[in-house]
Structure 1
Protein backbone atom coordinates (compact mmCIF):
# COMPACT_ATOMS: atom_id res chain seq x y z
CA UNK A 1 0.00 0.00 0.00
CA UNK A 2 2.75 2.46 0.99
CA UNK A 3 4.72 1.59 -2.16
CA UNK A 4 1.70 2.32 -4.37
CA UNK A 5 1.19 5.68 -2.63
CA UNK A 6 4.86 6.52 -3.08
CA UNK A 7 4.86 5.67 -6.80
CA UNK A 8 1.69 7.75 -7.26
CA UNK A 9 3.38 10.68 -5.53
CA UNK A 10 6.48 10.34 -7.71
CA UNK A 11 4.37 10.19 -10.86
CA UNK A 12 2.45 13.32 -9.80
CA UNK A 13 5.65 15.14 -8.84
CA UNK A 14 7.17 14.42 -12.25
CA UNK A 15 4.05 15.81 -13.93
CA UNK A 16 4.13 18.87 -11.67
CA UNK A 17 7.80 19.49 -12.49
CA UNK A 18 6.86 19.40 -16.17
CA UNK A 19 4.26 22.12 -15.49
CA UNK A 20 1.03 20.28 -14.67
CA UNK A 21 -1.02 22.50 -12.37
CA UNK A 22 -3.50 19.66 -11.82
CA UNK A 23 -0.75 17.27 -10.67
CA UNK A 24 0.58 19.88 -8.23
CA UNK A 25 -2.96 20.41 -6.95
CA UNK A 26 -3.36 16.67 -6.38
CA UNK A 27 -0.06 16.56 -4.48
CA UNK A 28 -1.19 19.41 -2.25
CA UNK A 29 -4.52 17.66 -1.64
CA UNK A 30 -2.64 14.51 -0.61
CA UNK A 31 -0.24 16.36 1.71
CA UNK A 32 -2.41 19.23 3.00
CA UNK A 33 -3.13 17.55 6.35
CA UNK A 34 0.55 16.98 6.97
CA UNK A 35 1.46 20.54 5.96
CA UNK A 36 -1.23 21.99 8.22
CA UNK A 37 -0.15 19.86 11.21
CA UNK A 38 3.45 20.95 10.76
CA UNK A 39 2.49 24.62 10.44
CA UNK A 40 0.21 24.38 13.49
CA UNK A 41 2.93 22.77 15.57
CA UNK A 42 5.22 25.65 14.67
CA UNK A 43 2.68 28.39 15.21
CA UNK A 44 0.12 27.17 17.75
CA UNK A 45 -2.45 29.24 15.91
CA UNK A 46 -4.97 28.10 13.34
CA UNK A 47 -4.86 31.42 11.46
CA UNK A 48 -1.06 31.50 11.37
CA UNK A 49 -0.92 27.84 10.30
CA UNK A 50 -3.34 28.46 7.43
CA UNK A 51 -1.33 31.47 6.29
CA UNK A 52 1.93 29.53 6.51
CA UNK A 53 0.49 26.62 4.51
CA UNK A 54 -0.92 28.97 1.89
CA UNK A 55 2.44 30.69 1.41
CA UNK A 56 4.25 27.31 1.41
CA UNK A 57 1.99 25.97 -1.33
CA UNK A 58 2.50 29.11 -3.41
CA UNK A 59 6.28 29.05 -3.01
CA UNK A 60 6.34 25.34 -3.80
CA UNK A 61 4.32 25.94 -6.95
CA UNK A 62 6.68 28.65 -8.14
CA UNK A 63 9.79 26.56 -7.53
CA UNK A 64 8.64 22.98 -8.27
CA UNK A 65 10.67 22.99 -11.50
CA UNK A 66 13.86 23.21 -9.40
CA UNK A 67 13.11 19.95 -7.57
CA UNK A 68 15.76 17.47 -8.70
CA UNK A 69 14.52 14.27 -7.05
CA UNK A 70 10.74 13.60 -7.17
CA UNK A 71 11.06 11.06 -4.34
CA UNK A 72 11.86 13.83 -1.83
CA UNK A 73 8.82 16.03 -2.55
CA UNK A 74 7.46 15.87 1.00
CA UNK A 75 10.84 16.70 2.56
CA UNK A 76 11.28 19.48 0.01
CA UNK A 77 7.87 20.96 0.94
CA UNK A 78 8.74 20.61 4.63
CA UNK A 79 11.90 22.63 4.04
CA UNK A 80 9.87 25.34 2.34
CA UNK A 81 7.35 25.28 5.19
CA UNK A 82 10.14 25.67 7.76
CA UNK A 83 11.52 28.71 5.93
CA UNK A 84 8.06 30.23 5.48
CA UNK A 85 7.29 29.64 9.15
CA UNK A 86 10.53 31.32 10.21
CA UNK A 87 9.86 34.27 7.92
CA UNK A 88 6.28 34.54 9.22
CA UNK A 89 7.48 34.93 12.79
CA UNK A 90 10.18 37.40 11.86
CA UNK A 91 7.45 39.56 10.29
CA UNK A 92 4.77 39.01 12.91
CA UNK A 93 4.25 38.65 16.63
CA UNK A 94 6.09 36.07 18.74
CA UNK A 95 4.70 32.58 19.12
CA UNK A 96 1.26 32.58 20.66
CA UNK A 97 0.00 30.09 23.17
CA UNK A 98 -2.20 27.21 22.09
CA UNK A 99 -5.89 27.80 22.75
CA UNK A 100 -7.15 26.57 26.12
CA UNK A 101 -10.01 24.71 24.43
CA UNK A 102 -7.71 22.13 22.80
CA UNK A 103 -9.41 18.79 23.15
CA UNK A 104 -7.67 15.98 24.95
CA UNK A 105 -6.63 13.09 22.75
CA UNK A 106 -7.71 9.71 24.06
CA UNK A 107 -4.48 7.86 23.33
CA UNK A 108 -1.94 10.55 24.21
CA UNK A 109 -1.39 9.48 27.82
CA UNK A 110 -1.10 13.09 29.00
CA UNK A 111 -3.77 15.58 29.96
CA UNK A 112 -4.71 18.58 27.84
CA UNK A 113 -3.06 20.88 30.40
CA UNK A 114 0.20 18.92 30.26
CA UNK A 115 0.07 18.96 26.46
CA UNK A 116 -0.46 22.74 26.46
CA UNK A 117 2.55 23.12 28.76
CA UNK A 118 4.63 20.91 26.47
CA UNK A 119 3.62 22.83 23.32
CA UNK A 120 4.36 26.15 25.03
CA UNK A 121 7.77 24.86 26.16
CA UNK A 122 8.53 23.67 22.62
CA UNK A 123 7.61 27.08 21.20
CA UNK A 124 10.01 28.75 23.67
CA UNK A 125 12.95 26.70 22.36
CA UNK A 126 15.40 28.34 19.96
CA UNK A 127 14.22 27.78 16.39
CA UNK A 128 16.76 25.09 15.45
CA UNK A 129 15.95 23.06 18.59
CA UNK A 130 12.21 23.47 18.05
CA UNK A 131 12.57 22.31 14.47
CA UNK A 132 14.36 19.05 15.32
CA UNK A 133 11.87 18.26 18.12
CA UNK A 134 8.87 18.79 15.83
CA UNK A 135 10.38 16.85 12.94
CA UNK A 136 11.54 13.96 15.16
CA UNK A 137 8.68 13.52 17.61
CA UNK A 138 5.66 14.98 15.83
CA UNK A 139 6.46 13.92 12.28
CA UNK A 140 8.45 10.78 13.11
CA UNK A 141 11.39 11.54 10.85
CA UNK A 142 14.77 9.88 11.25
CA UNK A 143 17.83 11.96 12.09
CA UNK A 144 19.21 11.58 8.54
CA UNK A 145 15.94 12.91 7.10
CA UNK A 146 15.96 15.84 9.52
CA UNK A 147 19.55 16.63 8.56
CA UNK A 148 18.53 16.73 4.90
CA UNK A 149 15.51 18.95 5.53
CA UNK A 150 17.43 21.38 7.73
CA UNK A 151 20.58 21.17 5.61
CA UNK A 152 22.80 20.44 8.62
CA UNK A 153 25.08 17.50 9.50
CA UNK A 154 23.47 14.47 11.18
CA UNK A 155 25.69 15.03 14.22
CA UNK A 156 24.17 18.49 14.65
CA UNK A 157 20.69 16.96 14.62
CA UNK A 158 21.69 14.55 17.37
CA UNK A 159 23.26 17.36 19.38
CA UNK A 160 20.23 19.64 18.91
CA UNK A 161 17.88 16.85 20.01
CA UNK A 162 19.90 16.22 23.16
CA UNK A 163 20.08 19.92 24.03
CA UNK A 164 16.42 20.52 23.17
CA UNK A 165 15.27 17.68 25.43
CA UNK A 166 17.47 19.04 28.21
CA UNK A 167 15.88 22.49 27.79
CA UNK A 168 12.39 20.97 27.78
CA UNK A 169 13.12 19.02 30.95
CA UNK A 170 14.14 22.27 32.63
CA UNK A 171 10.93 23.94 31.46
CA UNK A 172 8.54 21.20 32.43
CA UNK A 173 7.73 19.57 35.69
CA UNK A 174 9.31 16.16 36.09
CA UNK A 175 7.45 13.36 34.38
CA UNK A 176 6.02 15.26 31.38
CA UNK A 177 8.70 14.17 28.96
CA UNK A 178 10.05 10.65 28.85
CA UNK A 179 13.33 9.97 27.19
Structure 2
Protein backbone atom coordinates (compact mmCIF):
# COMPACT_ATOMS: atom_id res chain seq x y z
CA UNK A 1 0.00 0.00 0.00
CA UNK A 2 3.02 2.23 -0.41
CA UNK A 3 1.52 3.67 -3.58
CA UNK A 4 -1.47 5.00 -1.60
CA UNK A 5 0.92 7.06 0.52
CA UNK A 6 2.55 8.36 -2.66
CA UNK A 7 -0.87 9.30 -4.04
CA UNK A 8 -1.72 11.24 -0.89
CA UNK A 9 1.60 13.08 -1.07
CA UNK A 10 1.13 13.80 -4.78
CA UNK A 11 -2.34 15.20 -4.15
CA UNK A 12 -0.81 17.44 -1.51
CA UNK A 13 1.56 18.87 -4.14
CA UNK A 14 4.65 16.69 -3.68
CA UNK A 15 6.25 16.54 -7.15
CA UNK A 16 8.67 13.75 -6.23
CA UNK A 17 5.81 11.51 -5.08
CA UNK A 18 4.01 12.12 -8.37
CA UNK A 19 7.16 11.26 -10.32
CA UNK A 20 7.53 8.01 -8.34
CA UNK A 21 3.92 7.12 -9.12
CA UNK A 22 4.50 7.69 -12.81
CA UNK A 23 7.63 5.58 -12.76
CA UNK A 24 5.71 2.77 -11.03
CA UNK A 25 3.21 2.68 -13.89
CA UNK A 26 5.43 3.85 -16.76
CA UNK A 27 5.69 0.49 -18.50
CA UNK A 28 1.95 -0.06 -18.38
CA UNK A 29 1.26 3.47 -19.63
CA UNK A 30 3.71 3.08 -22.50
CA UNK A 31 2.28 -0.29 -23.57
CA UNK A 32 -1.23 1.09 -23.61
CA UNK A 33 -0.19 4.22 -25.47
CA UNK A 34 1.68 2.10 -28.02
CA UNK A 35 -1.41 0.04 -28.71
CA UNK A 36 -3.28 3.22 -29.56
CA UNK A 37 -0.51 5.03 -31.41
CA UNK A 38 1.26 2.18 -33.21
CA UNK A 39 4.71 3.74 -32.99
CA UNK A 40 7.22 4.66 -30.33
CA UNK A 41 7.30 8.42 -30.86
CA UNK A 42 3.55 8.93 -30.68
CA UNK A 43 3.28 6.56 -27.72
CA UNK A 44 5.86 8.61 -25.84
CA UNK A 45 3.97 11.80 -26.76
CA UNK A 46 0.77 10.28 -25.38
CA UNK A 47 2.50 9.26 -22.14
CA UNK A 48 4.01 12.71 -21.79
CA UNK A 49 0.67 14.41 -22.40
CA UNK A 50 -0.98 12.04 -19.92
CA UNK A 51 1.64 12.83 -17.31
CA UNK A 52 1.17 16.55 -17.80
CA UNK A 53 -2.63 16.40 -17.63
CA UNK A 54 -2.51 14.09 -14.59
CA UNK A 55 -0.08 16.39 -12.80
CA UNK A 56 -2.37 19.36 -13.35
CA UNK A 57 -5.46 17.44 -12.22
CA UNK A 58 -4.11 15.23 -9.41
CA UNK A 59 -5.90 17.34 -6.83
CA UNK A 60 -9.24 16.44 -8.43
CA UNK A 61 -8.74 12.71 -7.89
CA UNK A 62 -11.54 11.65 -5.56
CA UNK A 63 -10.66 8.07 -4.64
CA UNK A 64 -6.96 7.34 -4.13
CA UNK A 65 -7.50 3.63 -4.74
CA UNK A 66 -8.63 4.42 -8.30
CA UNK A 67 -5.49 6.31 -9.25
CA UNK A 68 -4.51 3.86 -11.99
CA UNK A 69 -8.06 3.79 -13.35
CA UNK A 70 -8.08 7.59 -13.42
CA UNK A 71 -4.65 7.73 -15.05
CA UNK A 72 -5.61 5.15 -17.68
CA UNK A 73 -8.69 7.15 -18.57
CA UNK A 74 -6.56 10.26 -19.07
CA UNK A 75 -4.19 8.23 -21.25
CA UNK A 76 -7.00 6.91 -23.45
CA UNK A 77 -8.40 10.41 -23.90
CA UNK A 78 -4.92 11.71 -24.76
CA UNK A 79 -4.50 8.92 -27.31
CA UNK A 80 -7.79 9.83 -28.96
CA UNK A 81 -6.81 13.50 -29.00
CA UNK A 82 -3.55 12.65 -30.76
CA UNK A 83 -5.32 10.41 -33.28
CA UNK A 84 -7.79 13.18 -34.06
CA UNK A 85 -4.92 15.58 -34.69
CA UNK A 86 -3.03 13.20 -36.92
CA UNK A 87 -5.84 11.40 -38.78
CA UNK A 88 -3.46 8.80 -40.17
CA UNK A 89 -2.97 5.04 -40.25
CA UNK A 90 -0.35 3.21 -38.24
CA UNK A 91 3.04 3.42 -39.98
CA UNK A 92 4.20 -0.16 -40.40
CA UNK A 93 7.91 0.58 -40.07
CA UNK A 94 7.41 0.96 -36.30
CA UNK A 95 5.23 -2.07 -35.70
CA UNK A 96 8.19 -4.39 -35.10
CA UNK A 97 8.85 -2.41 -31.90
CA UNK A 98 5.47 -3.39 -30.44
CA UNK A 99 6.02 -4.29 -26.82
CA UNK A 100 4.78 -7.78 -26.15
CA UNK A 101 5.11 -10.41 -23.47
CA UNK A 102 4.74 -13.15 -26.06
CA UNK A 103 7.29 -14.45 -28.53
CA UNK A 104 5.49 -13.45 -31.70
CA UNK A 105 6.90 -12.85 -35.13
CA UNK A 106 6.95 -9.39 -36.65
CA UNK A 107 4.25 -10.39 -39.13
CA UNK A 108 1.98 -11.47 -36.28
CA UNK A 109 2.68 -8.13 -34.55
CA UNK A 110 1.63 -6.28 -37.68
CA UNK A 111 -1.51 -8.37 -38.09
CA UNK A 112 -2.45 -8.02 -34.44
CA UNK A 113 -1.89 -4.24 -34.34
CA UNK A 114 -3.89 -3.80 -37.56
CA UNK A 115 -6.67 -5.99 -36.25
CA UNK A 116 -6.87 -4.25 -32.87
CA UNK A 117 -6.76 -0.82 -34.50
CA UNK A 118 -9.41 -1.93 -36.98
CA UNK A 119 -11.91 -2.51 -34.18
CA UNK A 120 -14.57 -0.03 -33.19
CA UNK A 121 -13.14 2.33 -30.54
CA UNK A 122 -15.28 0.91 -27.74
CA UNK A 123 -14.35 -2.68 -28.60
CA UNK A 124 -10.66 -1.77 -28.85
CA UNK A 125 -10.70 -0.06 -25.45
CA UNK A 126 -12.34 -3.06 -23.80
CA UNK A 127 -9.96 -5.55 -25.49
CA UNK A 128 -6.82 -3.58 -24.58
CA UNK A 129 -7.84 -3.03 -20.97
CA UNK A 130 -8.99 -6.62 -20.43
CA UNK A 131 -6.40 -8.65 -22.34
CA UNK A 132 -3.31 -6.45 -22.26
CA UNK A 133 -3.74 -5.07 -18.74
CA UNK A 134 -5.69 -7.93 -17.17
CA UNK A 135 -8.11 -5.48 -15.60
CA UNK A 136 -11.34 -6.84 -14.13
CA UNK A 137 -14.64 -6.02 -15.81
CA UNK A 138 -15.61 -3.78 -12.90
CA UNK A 139 -12.55 -1.57 -13.29
CA UNK A 140 -12.93 -1.42 -17.07
CA UNK A 141 -16.50 -0.22 -16.61
CA UNK A 142 -15.23 2.60 -14.39
CA UNK A 143 -12.51 3.59 -16.86
CA UNK A 144 -14.90 3.56 -19.81
CA UNK A 145 -17.78 4.97 -17.74
CA UNK A 146 -20.22 2.28 -18.90
CA UNK A 147 -22.12 -0.56 -17.19
CA UNK A 148 -20.32 -3.87 -16.58
CA UNK A 149 -22.66 -5.77 -18.91
CA UNK A 150 -21.81 -3.34 -21.70
CA UNK A 151 -18.11 -4.10 -21.16
CA UNK A 152 -18.88 -7.82 -21.46
CA UNK A 153 -20.78 -7.17 -24.68
CA UNK A 154 -17.92 -5.10 -26.10
CA UNK A 155 -15.44 -7.85 -25.21
CA UNK A 156 -17.59 -10.53 -26.82
CA UNK A 157 -18.17 -8.53 -30.00
CA UNK A 158 -14.56 -7.35 -30.11
CA UNK A 159 -13.24 -10.92 -29.81
CA UNK A 160 -15.58 -12.07 -32.54
CA UNK A 161 -14.48 -9.26 -34.83
CA UNK A 162 -10.78 -9.86 -34.03
CA UNK A 163 -11.19 -13.56 -34.73
CA UNK A 164 -12.74 -12.80 -38.10
CA UNK A 165 -10.08 -10.25 -39.03
CA UNK A 166 -7.14 -12.39 -37.93
CA UNK A 167 -8.39 -15.60 -39.51
CA UNK A 168 -8.98 -13.63 -42.70
CA UNK A 169 -5.28 -12.78 -42.93
CA UNK A 170 -4.21 -16.29 -41.92
CA UNK A 171 -2.55 -15.14 -38.72
CA UNK A 172 -1.65 -17.70 -36.07
CA UNK A 173 -2.91 -15.22 -33.50
CA UNK A 174 -6.36 -15.55 -35.06
CA UNK A 175 -6.20 -19.29 -34.54
CA UNK A 176 -5.13 -18.80 -30.93
CA UNK A 177 -8.00 -16.41 -30.32
CA UNK A 178 -10.35 -18.92 -31.95
CA UNK A 179 -9.30 -21.56 -29.43
CA UNK A 180 -9.78 -19.17 -26.49
CA UNK A 181 -13.29 -18.16 -27.51
TM-score normalised per structure 2: 0.88
CA distance in 1 between partners of 2:130 and 2:163 (Å): 17
**Structure 1 unmatched ranges of 5 or more:** 1-6
Give unpaired runs (5+ residues) of structure 2: 168-173
CA distance in 2 between counterparts of 1:91 and 1:158 reads 30
2:3 aligns to what?
A: 9
Give 2:109's match in structure 1, choosing from 111, 115, 127: 115
Assess if the C-alpha contact under 8 Å between 1:144 and 1:154 holds in 2.
yes
Deviation at 1:95?
Answer: 3.7
Matched, 1:130 2:107: no
1:56-87 deviations in whole A, cap 9, x for unaligned?
00000000000011111111100100111111
Shift of 1:97: 4.2
Q: Equivalents in 1 of 2:67, 2:99: separation in Å? A: 32
Alpha-carbon contact 1:104-1:112 (below 8 Å) kept: no
Return 44-53 or 22-31, whichever deviates more.
Answer: 22-31
Q: Distance in 2 between the 1:138 and 1:85 partners?
A: 16
Alignment match, 1:148: 142
Cα contact 2:31–2:99 (8 A) shared by 1: no
> Higher helix share goes to which structure?
2
Structure 2 equivalent of residue 175 of structure 1: 175
**CA 1:103–1:163 in structure 2 vs 1: closer, same or farther (change >3 Å)?**
closer
Q: Return the alpha-carbon distance in structure 1 between the equivalents of residues 103 and 23 of structure 2.
A: 31
Q: Given the two structures, how large is their TM-score scaled by the length of structure 1?
A: 0.89
Deviation at 1:138, TM superposition (A): 0.4
- Equivalent residue, structure 2, for 1:4: none
The alignment's C-alpha RMSD in Å is: 1.9
Q: What whole-Å deviation, never above 9, does each CA across 1:91-129 have from its counterpart, x for those lacking one?
A: 113340453544896x73643322321121001111111
Distance 2:44 2:29 in 1: 9
1:15-69 CA distance string (max 9 Å, x none):
1111111111111111111111110111111011000000000000000000011
State which of 1, 12, 20 in structure 2 corresponds to 1:26. Answer: 20
**Count of residue correspondences:** 172
Correspondence for 2:158: 164
CA distance in 2: counterparts of 1:32 and 1:70, whole angstroms: 18
Q: Partners in 2 of 1:82 and 1:62 — Cα distance?
A: 17
Distance change >3 Å, CA 139–CA 110, structure 1 → 2 = same
